[in-house]
Amino acid sequence: MTAARGPLPRRIVVAGHGIAGLTAAGALREAGFDGELTLVGDEPHAPYSRPALSKALLGGADPGAHTLPPGEHGARELRGVRVTALDPVRRRVALDDGASLPYDALVLATGARARRLSPGGGEWTLRGLDDALALRRALAARPSVLVVGGGVLGMEIASGALAAGCAVTLVSYGPPLRARLGPHLAGVLVRAARAWGLRLVETAARARLDAGRVRLADGTAHAADLVVSAVGDVPHTEWLAGTGLTADDGSVPVDAHGLARPGIAAVGDLAALPAPGGHRRVPLWNSAVDQALTAAHALLHGLSAPPLARPYFWTEQFGRGLKVAGPLPPAGEPEYVAGGPGGGPALLRWPRSGTAAALDHRLAVPRLRRLAAGGA
Ligand SMILES: Cc1cc2nc3c(=O)[nH]c(=O)nc-3n(C[C@H](O)[C@H](O)[C@H](O)COP(=O)(O)OP(=O)(O)OC[C@H]3O[C@@H](n4cnc5c(N)ncnc54)[C@H](O)[C@@H]3O)c2cc1C
């Protein structure tokens, strides 16, 4: 895919005002775009940090811990407005208030929503600020909590619920965190979870929600005052129906510069990046930022944009803090750069996969990335 090298765009629309859309708006200005920039998002809130919702906010910190500084992009911001359709031939985006916006270049950044266990209700999910504030209020009454999903988000929710004083059971399809983090790091966090009092139930097949009860493959059923599911996400791309931009899973495949077509970039959780054997979404905060920086540059200046940086991810749960740079799950056995296998603070490296991790260990992200790449 190559960027259009014609005249510079004069009107750019950014659809979605999460971190990917906000970063793209700022990066377009920094890359020299001084035309008409419009940022459209369906949430009424000022910019906020989604990762903080399941960490600081749920863990009981100051309810403002998630706020982000206002952007300096000078875009016309349409908040509480949804994009409903795209006509790539006429180059127009339709809005739910009946208006339509013309564009010369477009950034798709409408992210993803929580996947649900059942269409029939009966479960809580955590994706946006409103979800987090409601869940925080509900946890204050110390209900019994059943979390379905042994991924990073499910474990963070369980950690927050335990911190709020709830009795918490977590149902995990396979060992918690292992598919994502590998056995070593998953083992450290699961030990911390058990020490905090988390009750873990492993299931060999995906759990179902049926009349308020979570049913497992072995025939058992589990219930609690509050069922929270954290079973993945679904790209928010229904509004792109008929454009040919989406793959079967709803993601938008892009090239290494974040372009889906000349003049149309897709960034953040909805974008599927080139990967060995096909395209893959990388639904991570820093990846959304990196993709937006690269794609904004490519939209304006073509393919001189820098390549995407090594993926970076972090989590806080059960009193432990973990930062990881490089591919996950890491391959092979880790080497200890600092600390040791006793489970305390450590700096680790997996040379085979080019992954490095800092466990309760202060290290700047660029240094962690260098360590992952084999540097000091
Ligand atoms: C609770 C939680 C914790 C997380 N923790 C971490 C973490 O610790 N580390 C990490 O790396 N990543 C974490 N993530 C993932 C990270 O937050 C996402 O990768 C990142 O927010 C993606 O940004 P985005 O802008 O692509 O999508 P989003 O943040 O989803 O933003 C998309 C925006 O577009 C809006 N939108 C959707 N459809 C429309 C429409 N039709 N019209 C207009 N607007 C629309 C949405 O409402 C939303 O505001 C976490 C995610 C969640 C939910």
Q: Which residue puts its alpha carbon closest to atom 14 of ligand 1?
A: 51
Q: Is 290 in the pocket of ligand 1 (CB under 6 A)?
A: no
Tokens 């794609």 map to which residue? 295
Burial 83-99 (b: 16+ CB within 10 A, else e): bebbebeebebbbeeee
Q: What is the mean pLDDT of each run of 10 residues along the chain (376 residues)?
A: 64 98 96 95 94 89 79 91 98 97 98 93 94 95 97 97 97 95 96 98 91 90 96 97 97 95 97 91 94 94 73 93 94 92 90 94 93 84
Rounded distance from Cα 195 to ligand 1 centre (Å): 31
Give the model's pLDDT for residue 307: 67
Q: Say how many CA atoms lie within 13 Å of 114 toward its Cβ.
A: 23
Tokens matching residue 317 = 């749960």
Q: What is the pLDDT of residues 88-131, one digit of tens each?
A: 999 999 999 999 999 999 999 999 999 999 988 899 999 999 99
* Pairing of the two strands 112-114 and 355-359: unpaired
Rounded distance from Cα 136 to ligand 1 centre (Å): 19
Rounded distance from Cα 301 to ligand 1 centre (Å): 27
Rounded distance from Cα 49 to ligand 1 centre (Å): 9
Give the model's pLDDT for residue 223: 93
Give the model's pLDDT for residue 376: 64
Residue 179: phi and psi, rounded to 5, are: -60, -35
Measured distance CA(133)–CA(137) in Å, rounded:
6
Give the model's pLDDT for residue 211: 84
Which of 285, 312, 369 to mutate to test ligand 1, by most ligand atoms within 8 A of the CB atom? 285
Q: Is 54 in the pocket of ligand 1 (CB under 6 A)?
A: yes
Rounded distance from Cα 20 to ligand 1 centre (Å): 8
Q: Is 215 in the pocket of ligand 1 (CB under 6 A)?
A: no
Give the model's pLDDT for residue 107: 98
Tokens matching residue 76 = 């016309």
Q: Is 155 in the pocket of ligand 1 (CB under 6 A)?
A: no
Q: Is 17 in the pocket of ligand 1 (CB under 6 A)?
A: yes
Q: Is 126 in the pocket of ligand 1 (CB under 6 A)?
A: yes
Rounded distance from Cα 67 to ligand 1 centre (Å): 14
Burial 186-197 (b: 16+ CB within 10 A, else e): bbbbbebbeebe
Residue ranges of domains in the chain, CATH in brackets: 11-113+233-301 (3.50.50.60), 116-229 (3.50.50.60), 319-372 (no CATH)
Which of 106, 110, 133, 239 to mutate to test ligand 1, by most ligand atoms within 8 A of the CB atom? 110
Give the model's pLDDT for residue 311: 82
Q: Please list, in sequence order, all residues whose beta carbon lies within 8 angstroms of the beta carbon of residue 174, skipping any fewer than 6 positions away.
A: 150, 202, 204
Neighbour-count burial of 327, counting CB atoms closer than 10 A to its CB (0-12 exposed, 13-18 middle, 19+ buried) = middle
Q: Which residue puts its alpha carbon closest to atom 7 of ligand 1?
A: 51
Give the model's pLDDT for residue 2: 42
Give the model's pLDDT for residue 340: 87
Q: Are 152 and 180 in contact (CB under 8 A)?
A: yes
Measured distance CA(166)–CA(228) in Å, rounded:
13
Give the model's pLDDT for residue 269: 98
Q: Are 297 and 265 in contact (CB under 8 A)?
A: no
Q: Which residue puts its alpha carbon closest to atom 53 of ligand 1?
A: 127
Q: What is the pLDDT of residues 352-375, one digit of tens each?
A: 999 999 999 999 999 999 999 887
Neighbour-count burial of 256, counting CB atoms closer than 10 A to its CB (0-12 exposed, 13-18 middle, 19+ buried) = middle
